[in-house]
């Protein structure tokens, strides 16, 4: 087993905090249209340090469990409710600690988050024009006067493109408004995907690594729900359904 107090852990924590801060800061600035950069920086810093605090608490609890774990008690490994092997509690906790200390898992988890964000952006790119079109159609039926007034304003603006080409603040304000609307739509789309999905759409890379090692240790090629059950105490650590595409 690897050393549980490796020197590079500090730099891993620093990299994690900086990455979360950068992502949170840019996301908050996008949604708020850069209206309050100091508040955005404070909220991003709070988010980043909260994530690191939760990670350290989890790691601390696992190390305490590792120190108190029994090296002889066998835990049953089940895949899709079928027993396939056994592992000691100490070895199982060691696998979870190693997963938390592996920097590749953090990179992989950010890639999974990026993949989910790209799906949300794709929904935004496709959904916003469709929503705008049907809003225009319904607005033409319910309140045609207001729609005609809005179209008259756009027509007047594009009939004389000189103000647009001169770089007036109006164009910047319009771009910010569109960006804010797109950011809000992306957040709603992401929330809808998380709520309506039959299973969580973001793969837990840390759990995926632990479950993969458990399957390899038992020589099991089947993918599915992995559970580690203590035969004596009756307690268990249940995994989530594995992603067949991974």
C-alpha–C-alpha distance, residues 149 and 174, integer Å: 18
**From the DSSP assignment, how many helices (H) and strands (E) are in the chain?**
8, 4
132 pLDDT band, cuts 50/70/90, is confident
Q: Are 54 and 207 in contact (CB under 8 A)?
A: no
What pTM does this model have? Answer: 0.69
Q: For residue range 156-208, what is the model confidence (pLDDT) as tens digits?
A: 555 655 555 555 565 566 666 666 677 777 777 777 777 776 777 788 888 88
What residues contact residue 79 under an 8 Å CB cut-off, 6+ apart? 215, 218, 220, 222, 224, 225, 226, 227
Query: Percentage of residues in the chain with pLDDT exceeding 90?
Result: 4
pLDDT at 61: 92
- Give the mean pLDDT of the chain: 76
Average pLDDT in the 40-60 region?
89
Query: Percentage of residues in the chain with pLDDT exceeding 70?
Result: 71
Higher-confidence residue of 238 and 240: namely 238
Nearest to 105 by CA among 2, 24, 23, 210: 210
- Please provide the distance, in angstroms rounded to a whole number, between the alpha carbons at the two ends of the chain: 26
Taken as a whole, the chain contains a residue count of: 246
Nearest to 14 by CA among 69, 60, 51, 43: 51
């Amino acid at each position: 087993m690897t050393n549980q107090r490796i020197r590079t852990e500090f730099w891993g924590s620093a990299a994690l905090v900086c990455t979360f801060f950068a992502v949170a800061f840019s996301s908050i600035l996008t949604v708020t249209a850069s209206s309050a950069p100091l508040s955005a920086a404070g909220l991003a810093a709070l988010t980043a340090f909260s994530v690191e605090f939760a990670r350290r608490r989890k790691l601390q609890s696992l190390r305490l469990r590792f120190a108190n774990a029994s090296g002889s008690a066998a835990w049953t490994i089940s895949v899709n409710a079928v027993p396939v092997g056994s592992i000691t509690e100490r070895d199982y906790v060691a696998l979870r600690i190693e997963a938390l200390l592996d920097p590749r898992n953090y990179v992989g988890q950010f890639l999974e988050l990026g993949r989910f964000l790209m799906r949300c952006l794709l929904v935004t790119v496709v959904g916003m024009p469709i929503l705008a079109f049907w809003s225009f159609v319904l607005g033409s039926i319910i309140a045609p006067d207001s729609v005609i007034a809005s179209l008259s304003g756009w027509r007047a603006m594009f009939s004389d493109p000189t103000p647009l080409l001169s770089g007036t603040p109006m164009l910047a304000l319009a771009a910010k408004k569109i960006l804010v609307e797109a950011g809000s739509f992306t957040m709603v789309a992401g929330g809808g995907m998380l709520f309506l999905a039959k299973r969580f759409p973001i793969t837990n890379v840390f759990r995926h690594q632990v479950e993969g090692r458990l399957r390899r240790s038992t020589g099991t090629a089947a993918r599915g729900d992995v559970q580690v059950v203590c035969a004596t105490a009756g307690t268990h650590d249940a995994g989530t359904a594995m992603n067949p595409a991974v």
